[in-house]
Structure 1
Amino acid sequence: MRTDHDDFAVEPVKGLPETPPKGEHILWQGRPDWWALTRESLNLRWVAGYFVVLALWRFGTLIDQVSLSSAFAASFPFIILGGIVCALLLVIGVVQARSTVYTITNRRVAMRIGAALTVTLNLPFSQIARADLETRRDGTGTIALDLLGDTRLSYLVCWPHVRPWHMRRTQPALRCIPNATDIAQLLSEAAQAHLSTPKVAPNPLQTQAPVAAE
């Protein structure tokens, strides 16, 4: 598995650090839905709800002590602060989504991720133990990849393109992608086809010692 990427190099193929070798071809490319990524990975709803609760709490503690307008004026800064924070989260979500390219080929899964620090993960099918699909009602979903053996990835480097809260054994994930069910089916078929293809390793030619004539 390779995780190298030169930020100053031009990608020969979108989303891949180098031209695919002979016999490998791209089956699908995509990126996260920015709204779904912001909502899920950055917990946008929880953050917005937190500031709403703060504003209501402030309003409730003052309403019996001051006038209605004064109580509202005292609680309104929490709404403004919450709006600023949510706007920043939306910007982060958009940047993360636009800088990401997920690629599925007939041999591997590649993930070009990261806005400030760009990293490309190359995950051959032979290193993937299992792929788990989690879908949402809007059709988006996340495909988490459980890796074989001693393969270890940094949760912080891969975030938010990981399965949430699986920090001990990081699972890279195609996060919040549209039509996730169809993509998961495509990935399953490609992996099964690749892993079931016989691998023929050529043996070195053996030279036979000459036999002396009798």
Structure 2
Amino acid sequence: MMANFDHEPIRGLPGPLPAGEHILWQGSPDWRRLARDAFHVRLILAYFALILLAALASGASAPGLLLTALAAALCLGLLHGLALLSARTSIYTLTNRRIVLRIGMALPTAINIPLLRINIAGLRLNADGSGDIPLALTTRSGLGWFHLWPHARPWALSRPEPMLRAIPDAAGVATLIAGALAEVVPTGQRLPITLPEGPVTHGGLAQPA
């Protein structure tokens, strides 16, 4: 399911597509949204702001305030840089047979998820249209949460779920995934796959008996 590689015959994929398989969509995380949601830059900014306010209230010296501000700028700059690098080195691919996550800032890794192994594909939308699509699998994947991060559903530690994170037009991508899932589900095993007006949608395969 997971493989390291150093050559991409097709962008985002570790090897050529077999006969009968074709790409339906490819995309990458939006690095600004990734910085906010995965690297929590707003929380870090709020933390340093509280420290500065507390220091001002206690009459801290100007050099101390300056050092704190420089530490905040360094920390936030580092986190934004990591988010940008993570987004640039991550490619999500949906084909008519699988979803592939090409991730890894230092060592590229491809995670292949056959559509038949996806039990539920969820959707969490943000106000700007971006969103996250976690993939609950029918069986344990053997993937560790830290191996997947930041492409993992938050706090799903005991049974990690791969997640397409911070992708633009998340509702449109969810529609494509729902359609691809519907095509591979055996007759009689389909669950209703709909995209309601609300912020959350679920669609996928019935649990095996």
TM-score, scaled relative to structure 2: 0.86
Which ranges of structure 1 fall in alignment gaps of 5 or more residues? 64-70, 199-214
- My pick for the range that moved more, 31-40 or 187-196, is 187-196
Residues 26 and 105 of structure 1 are in contact (CA less than 8 Å); yes or no, is this contact kept in structure 2? yes
What is the aligned counterpart of 1:155 among 128, 141, 145? 145
**1:125 counterpart residue number:** 115
Cα deviation, 1:12-39, whole Å, max 9, x if unaligned, reads 1111111111000000000000000011
**1:92 counterpart residue number:** 82
Residues 4 and 107 of structure 2 are in contact (CA less than 8 Å); yes or no, is this contact kept in structure 1? no
**1:14 counterpart residue number:** 11
**1:174 counterpart residue number:** 164
Counterpart amino acid of residue 11 in structure 2: K
Which ranges of structure 2 fall in alignment gaps of 5 or more residues? 189-209
Q: Secondary structure at the match of 1:20?
A: coil
**2:71 counterpart residue number:** 81
Q: Distance in 2 between matches of 1:164 and 1:88?
A: 21
Give aligned pairs, total.
188
- Structure 1 outlier segments of 4+, above 4 Å: none
**1:185 counterpart residue number:** 175
Counterpart amino acid of residue 27 in structure 1: L
RMSD of equivalent CA atoms:
1.5
Q: Report deviation, 1:180.
A: 0.1
What is the aligned counterpart of 1:37 among 22, 34, 37? 34
Percent identical among aligned pairs is 36
**1:60 counterpart residue number:** 57
Residues 56 and 75 of structure 1 are in contact (CA less than 8 Å); yes or no, is this contact kept in structure 2? no
Q: Distance in 1 between matches of 2:64 and 2:101?
A: 47
Q: Secondary structure at the match of 1:27?
A: strand
Counterpart amino acid of residue 171 in structure 2: T
Residues 91 and 101 of structure 2 are in contact (CA less than 8 Å); yes or no, is this contact kept in structure 1? yes
Cα deviation, 1:60-90, whole Å, max 9, x if unaligned, reads 0117xxxxxxx44432321111011000001
Q: Secondary structure at the match of 1:169?
A: coil
Counterpart amino acid of residue 152 in structure 2: V
- My pick for the range that moved more, 72-81 or 94-103, is 72-81
Question: Is 1:50 aligned to residue 47 of structure 2?
Answer: yes
**2:106 counterpart residue number:** 116
**1:23 counterpart residue number:** 20
TM-score, scaled relative to structure 1: 0.84
Residues 102 and 111 of structure 2 are in contact (CA less than 8 Å); yes or no, is this contact kept in structure 1? yes
Residues 52 and 78 of structure 1 are in contact (CA less than 8 Å); yes or no, is this contact kept in structure 2? no
Q: Which structure has the highest strand share of the two?
A: 2
Indicate the structure (1 or 2) with the bigger Cα radius of gyration: 1
Cα deviation, 1:87-135, whole Å, max 9, x if unaligned, reads 0001100000000010000111000001112210000011111011001
